Structure 1
Amino acid sequence: MTNDSRDARPAGHSFPRTAGRAKGYQVSAVDEFLGRARAAFESATDADALAAADVRSVSFRLVKRGYQPEAVDAALVRVEDAFAARERDQGMATTGTGAWINQTRDRAQEILDRLTRPPRRRFDRARGLGYGYRIDEVDIVADKIAAYLADGKPVTVEQVRAVAFRMQRRGYRETQVDAVLDAVVDVMLAVG
């Protein structure tokens, strides 16, 4: 039996490693975060519990011989989904299904209000000579998400998670756009 180093999983490691000049996620940071996530998920009373949003926002340093990002990212999506399902179940148990639905509907309406602003004016622009997301690309995605929220047009959480924009001078501010996309994912996961 041969051991191909690109696909091999050394003892104690959860994901395949990168090879050659390719960089991957820092192994110790990934292992530490996933260990913390597991402990938080298994603990019903952990004061330092993580939330689905924490899983979505985690980032890792890129290093040689790190974990392959695609494999880790796929696992993080599953972990985020598990946390979101638990949060949804706990929220409905605590506030009641009707209240949970109303809260989610209110959040969806806030997002819809933002995304239905006039094109090219939905988000603040990067300042000075700074770069931001391409306005035309963000507006196309905003229109699709608005149609999903208002009319139920098909959009999946995977599509929202995977969206990427090119950059342009004086484009939309990345932090604002990213915050709205995160809120869209939260709403989509809240309704299951």
Structure 2
Amino acid sequence: MTVTVDEKPRTNSKFKLVGPKEVGYNVKQVDVFLERARAYFLNAESNSKAITSLDVRTASFDPARGGYSAQAVDAAMDRIEDEFVLREKELLIAAEGEKAWMMKIGKTASVLRARLHRPDGERFRRPSRKSVQSYNVNDVDVLCRELLVYIEDNGELSVDVVRRAVFAAEKGANGYDESQVDAFLDRVVELMAAIDPLTSK
């Protein structure tokens, strides 16, 4: 029997549900967000609030017992983001031309490249509070070196590697500030998905 967060049978679930004692994503929150995203994608001229690829990428859902499988939802969100990125690209080109799109990509790449060229151990700030959790410096720097090869030498790197990147935990100034690293990687994903959204898998 399929069980939802309230332990009632659910036969029309959009995603696989975890067991009743396991933790997944809140079913209602996922369903509501996906319905909003679908409605806007199909009818961007509607009065509903605009949804962008950034909104899809940064969406989060509360944990819930018996909820949707996080892995299944995350994979679907990645695909949806790619579709939004592609349409945003097409709309910009239609409105302002291919040159405008290339300029946008170029500016983003330039900003990212500048940080990637910083020396190992100096790419991001360090938290000033000793108790704050941070990211392992070496783990982050390894990914940054791979990204630099991707941007400057057409290296092979899947956007999913960046999306799923996991770094060992540190404390305080022993590591990089999590929020700054996360914000930077969001821009990286935006660039990679924009360059080739449909073959980024």
TM-score for both structures, normalised by structure 1 = 0.92
Counterpart AA for 2:27: V
Aligned to 2:184: 180
Contact kept in structure 1, 2:26 and 2:62, CA below 8 Å = yes
Aligned to 2:28: 28
Aligned to 2:199: none
Counterpart AA for 1:177: V
User: 2:108, 2:156 → 1: CA distance?
Assistant: 19
Name whichever of 77-86 and 46-55 sits farther off.
46-55
Among the aligned pairs, what percent are the same residue? 36
Q: Which runs of structure 1 show a deviation greater than 2 angstroms over 4 or more consecutive aligned residues?
A: 3-6, 9-12
Which secondary structure state, in structure 2, belongs to the residue aligned with residue 184 of structure 1?
Answer: helix
Counterpart AA for 2:12: G
Which secondary structure state, in structure 1, belongs to the residue aligned with residue 64 of structure 2?
Answer: strand
TM-score for both structures, normalised by structure 2 = 0.88
1:32 deviates by: 0.4
Counterpart AA for 2:105: T
Counterpart AA for 2:118: R
Among candidates 160, 163, 171, match of residue 161 of structure 1? 163
Aligned to 2:68: 67
User: 2:155, 2:39 → 1: CA distance?
Assistant: 38
**Equivalences for 1:81-160 in 2 at 5 Å?**
81-129=82-130, 130-160=132-162
* CA shift digits 1:48-97 (9 cap, x unpaired): 21111110111111111111111111111111111111011111111210
User: 2:2, 2:54 → 1: CA distance?
Assistant: 36
CA RMSD of aligned residues (A): 1.7
User: 1:4, 1:38 → 2: CA distance?
Assistant: 25
1:21 deviates by: 2.2
* CA shift digits 1:15-51 (9 cap, x unpaired): 1111142111111101100011011111122462111
1:143 deviates by: 0.6
Which secondary structure state, in structure 1, belongs to the residue aligned with residue 176 of structure 2?
Answer: coil
Aligned to 1:55: 56
1:128 deviates by: 2.0
Contact kept in structure 1, 2:3 and 2:66, CA below 8 Å = no
User: 1:72, 1:119 → 2: CA distance?
Assistant: 34
1:12 deviates by: 2.9
User: 1:44, 1:62 → 2: CA distance?
Assistant: 30
Gap regions ≥5 residues in structure 1 = none
Gap regions ≥5 residues in structure 2 = 197-201
* CA shift digits 1:120-161 (9 cap, x unpaired): 110011222122100011011011101111111111111111
Contact kept in structure 1, 2:2 and 2:11, CA below 8 Å = no
Aligned to 2:17: 17
